[in-house]
């Protein structure tokens, strides 16, 4: 007995074999029972939704966000675009440490309220699974507060949340000039924060954390059961991707400056390449080599990188548009990366697909094909969103 | 006696002097009576709207659209991005002539239904004034049908519409290889179409219409009272901008390849530069030199160029984001261009401002400043839209 049947689907993307026209999805107990050609559907009872020739695809899996934060950096954004340098802005109290200051000053309920408004818009825009990083606390108390808020978002809102401890996001003022001491402090946070985190992440970049420091953090985190996600090769080529491959990380993220050698290493090690074209767009820097990473055999994921400094995107549709128009992914590659790719990076079996047994996380687009997402980049086409078979937007 | 008072405005942009904090807008009989600091407001009665520190600005004026069309070219978009050349696509029946074929086959009511759904989304996204071009008919009957549908959109929907006859958009199949004969045919349409058009436009481009052909059309159109808008210097530098300056056109549009000399000529002649960053984004081509045009003294407008081939944008907010992030306009320049700039190009005095006597066309953003529009490029921040003082979205 089905609870829900979506019929008259014009283009059905299941990430489980071919696309189907005249598609049908049958849901029972929050899971997909059947997704395919209507002619083959076993039963079509329950609540009936006529998709009127529109598109159905899995809910978006946004595998890289920093969405739990306080403060407003729009003025800094404005000043940067009007020619002020990042170092001038940082010297005037701007940059990531401005967000750290605002987030430290914000209690858990305020932080939840700010963050849940972002997550609500994300769900409305089709996201059903989210990764959320800490990293705007940089001390034990605030990192813990951020991770708890992130977990609470997943408990109280209709979205699956995986959390990542990013204590090594930046060196806080208290440790200015002594990143080794701060690395030690990060490692000391692990016994406590690991209770609320699924992964650990380090921003591997010149002037932030070097590869040996990152290796130390990841090895310590592994002892507490945390998988690795690596901010790698964003602003320069430093070796974060090779480290991710060496460690068998869950993901290497950004990768704007990844080489063909990095791509092969990531593919061989089964590390998902999580690409964030919104950051490159905002910064006016070149897009990551998505086609090259796919060519090398990497699983690619797309993510918003939602953060108040360099990529304040919430919806995944514009990210798909950027990936297609600016990065050179095909529509099919981008849609897979925005759904299944993210789920693979988060170890969520079945998520990002509509195969039998998968959670019935899906959306109906007000368009005859998913190609309309990048074809109509400024228009929100997400008409209905379902989480575990329940309509949530 | 006021009908409507918006108070507690965090950032008020009037395009009539300075920005104001703690702003207030008072509306009576559909017009702005006062916009400025709350302390100076003469009366604050009528329906009260508490803006709770959010931003108020004039409604967007989208000064360049081709939104009355039928058909779907998403598959062509997909193929082009996957490497197929435009000439291969055109040879297979794609390109602008595919839209012409679909539009010719569509009766007025169908065309109105398709177009009004676009306009409805535009209004929800903050647009209160629109320019709409014909150009997907390329015969008298269909050009007339498009212009009548465009006028009907302005009559039946809460949006001011100005229409432009773009018979010279492309050479139709019936005149293949003989653009001079088609120019004569366009001129023969003028006595009839001019009743439903405010402006005339010509696509001045290598292989489409040359400058002398365009001059002939514009001079004939002027006799029927139609001002000139010119598709100029989009794909190459051909002299459309100089022609626009020579003719004292209302606008020169696109201008991706405009030179400093063009900019001075446009500024001297008072021709508004209508820039369409969505087209350059979609085509992956360089953005028009917006800062150079402003530097030369041009009034600059921003527009969606909403069309099914090269810029299927409906909302103006992502256009502002592209203008700021990719073209290099400041936030203030982009907001002015998206409001007052478009109104100047359409000869609509007062529109695009909130000065006393202007139509009360305005929006409330769910954000503390207009800088949030490009700062959060994937999020629709338009919370409430008013047309002539009436809430329409």
CA distances from B279 to A69, A375, B157, B326, B375 (A): 34, 11, 26, 12, 21
Are the Cβ atoms of B379 and A324 closer than 8 angstroms?
no
Sign of CA dihedral A185, A186, A190, A192: positive
Are the Cβ atoms of A331 and B81 closer than 8 angstroms?
yes
Beta-carbon contacts of A131 under 8 Å, excluding residues fewer than 6 positions away, are A62, A63, A64, A65, A161, A162, A163, A164, A199, A229, A303, A342, A345, A346
Mean pLDDT of the B263-277 span = 98
**pLDDT grade for B189, boundaries at 50, 70 and 90:** very high
Q: Which of A75, A367, A372 sits opposite B371 (nearest CB)?
A: A75
Q: What's the CA gap between B110 and B171, in Å, rounded?
A: 25
pLDDT at A87 over 80: no
pLDDT at A19 over 90: no
Which 8-state DSSP code applies to residue B287?
P
CA angle B219, B223, B225 (to 5 degrees): 110
Asked if B314 is an interface residue toward chain A (Cβ–Cβ < 8 A), one would say yes
Mean pLDDT of the B63-90 span = 89
B318: helix, coil or strand?
Answer: helix
Mean pLDDT of the B51-74 span = 97
Taking each helix axis from N to C end, the angle separating B108-124 and B140-156, rounded to the nearest 10 degrees, works out to 40
The tokens of A269 are what?
């090690």
- The number of angstroms, rounded, from the C-alpha of B390 to the middle of its chain's C-alpha atoms is 22
CB A216 within 8 A of CB A247: no
Element (H or E) spanning A318, and its range?
A: helix A317-325
> What was the pLDDT predicted at A332?
94
pLDDT at B177 over 80: yes
Q: B328: nearest CA in chain A?
A: A81
Distance from CA of B286 to the nearest CA of A (A): 12
The tokens of A282 are what?
């905002």
Element (H or E) spanning A247, and its range?
A: helix A240-247
pLDDT at B1 over 90: no
Q: What's the CA gap between A13 and A290, in Å, rounded?
A: 21
Sign of CA dihedral A353, A357, A361, A367: positive
Which 8-state DSSP code applies to residue A174?
G
**pLDDT grade for A21, boundaries at 50, 70 and 90:** confident
Average model confidence (pLDDT) for chain A?
96
Asked if A77 is an interface residue toward chain B (Cβ–Cβ < 8 A), one would say yes
| H helix intervals, chain B | 74-81, 86-91, 96-104, 108-124, 140-156, 179-193, 211-223, 240-247, 260-269, 277-283, 290-295, 317-322, 331-336, 342-345, 372-375
Are the Cβ atoms of A312 and B74 closer than 8 angstroms?
no
Give residue-wise pLDDT tens across range B136-166: 999 999 999 999 999 999 999 999 999 999 9
Closest to B386 (Cα-Cα) out of B35, B42, B152: B35
243-282 in chain B: CB under 8 A from chain A: 278, 281-282
CA distances from A346 to A78, A121, A229, A301 (A): 34, 22, 10, 10
Conformation bin of residue B77: beta by default, left when phi > 0, alpha when psi is -120 to 50: alpha
Which 8-state DSSP code applies to residue B174?
G
Q: How far apart are the first and last CA of chain B?
A: 24
Are the Cβ atoms of B377 and A74 closer than 8 angstroms?
no
Decide: residue A128, CB within 10 A, 0-12 exposed, 13-18 middle, 19+ buried.
buried
Beta-carbon contacts of B255 under 8 Å, excluding residues fewer than 6 positions away, are B232, B233, B234, B241, B262, B273, B275, B288, B289, B293
ipTM, 2 decimals?
0.95
Conformation bin of residue A192: beta by default, left when phi > 0, alpha when psi is -120 to 50: alpha
Q: What's the CA gap between B118 and B141, in Å, rounded?
A: 23
User: Model pTM?
Assistant: 0.97
**pLDDT grade for A18, boundaries at 50, 70 and 90:** confident
Distance from CA of B128 to the nearest CA of A (A): 17
Gyration radius (Cα) of chain A, Å: 21
> What was the pLDDT predicted at A380?
95
Give residue-wise pLDDT tens across range A351-378: 999 999 999 999 999 999 999 999 999 9
Q: A380: nearest CA in chain B?
A: B380
Give residue-wise pLDDT tens across range B224-261: 999 999 999 999 999 999 999 999 999 999 999 999 99
> What was the pLDDT predicted at B45?
79
Mean pLDDT of the A333-338 span = 98
Closest to A336 (Cα-Cα) out of A288, A285, A290: A290
The tokens of A111 are what?
């932080």
CA angle A27, A28, A31 (to 5 degrees): 70
> What was the pLDDT predicted at B301?
98
**pLDDT grade for A44, boundaries at 50, 70 and 90:** confident
Give residue-wise pLDDT tens across range A323-332: 999 999 999 9
B114: helix, coil or strand?
Answer: helix
> What was the pLDDT predicted at A263?
98
pLDDT at B90 over 80: no
Mean pLDDT of the A27-50 span = 92
CB B24 within 8 A of CB B49: no
CB atoms within 10 A of CB A66: 26
Distance from CA of A248 to the nearest CA of B (A): 32
The tokens of B281 are what?
């984004």
Distance from CA of B41 to the nearest CA of A (A): 28
């Amino acid at each position: 007995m089905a609870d829900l049947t979506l019929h008259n689907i014009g283009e059905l993307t299941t990430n489980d074999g071919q696309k189907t026209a005249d598609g049908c999805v049958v849901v029972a107990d929050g899971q997909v029972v059947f997704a395919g050609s209507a002619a083959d559907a076993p039963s079509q009872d329950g609540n009936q939704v006529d998709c009127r020739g529109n598109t159905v695809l899995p809910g978006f899996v946004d595998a890289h966000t920093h969405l739990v934060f306080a403060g407003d950096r729009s003025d800094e954004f404005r000043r940067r675009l009007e020619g002020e340098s990042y170092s001038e802005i940082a010297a005037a109290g701007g940059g990531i440490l401005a967000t750290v200051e605002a987030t430290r000053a914000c209690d858990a309920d305020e932080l939840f309220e700010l963050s849940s408004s972002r997550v609500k818009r994300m769900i409305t825009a089709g996201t059903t699974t989210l990764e959320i990083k800490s990293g705007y606390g940089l001390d034990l108390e605030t990192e813990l507060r951020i991770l708890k808020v992130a977990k609470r978002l997943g408990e109280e809102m209709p979205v699956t949340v995986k959390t990542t401890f990013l204590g090594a996001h930046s060196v806080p003022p208290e440790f200015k000039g002594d990143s080794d001491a701060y690395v030690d402090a990060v490692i000391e946070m692990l016994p406590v924060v690991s209770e609320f985190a699924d992964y650990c992440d380090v921003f591997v970049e010149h002037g932030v954390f070097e590869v040996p420091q990152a290796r130390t953090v990841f090895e310590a985190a592994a002892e507490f059961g945390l998988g690795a996600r690596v901010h790698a090769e964003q602003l320069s080529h430093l070796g974060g991707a090779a480290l991710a491959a060496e460690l068998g990380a869950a993901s290497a993220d950004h990768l704007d400056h990844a080489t063909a050698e990095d791509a092969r290493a990531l593919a061989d090690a089964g590390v998902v390449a999580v690409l964030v074209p919104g950051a490159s767009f905002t910064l006016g820097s070149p897009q990551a080599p998505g086609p090259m990473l796919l060519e090398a055999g990497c699983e690619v994921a797309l993510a918003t990188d939602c953060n108040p400094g360099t990529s304040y995107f919430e919806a995944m549709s514009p990210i798909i548009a950027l990936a297609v128009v600016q990065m050179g992914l095909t529509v099919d590659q981008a849609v897979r990366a925005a759904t299944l790719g993210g789920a693979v990076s988060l170890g969520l079996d079945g998520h990002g697909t509509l195969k039998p047994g998968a959670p019935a996380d899906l959306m109906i687009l007000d368009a005859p094909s998913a190609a309309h997402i990048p074809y109509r980049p400024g228009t929100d086409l997400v008409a209905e969103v379902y989480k575990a078979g329940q309509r949530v937007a």
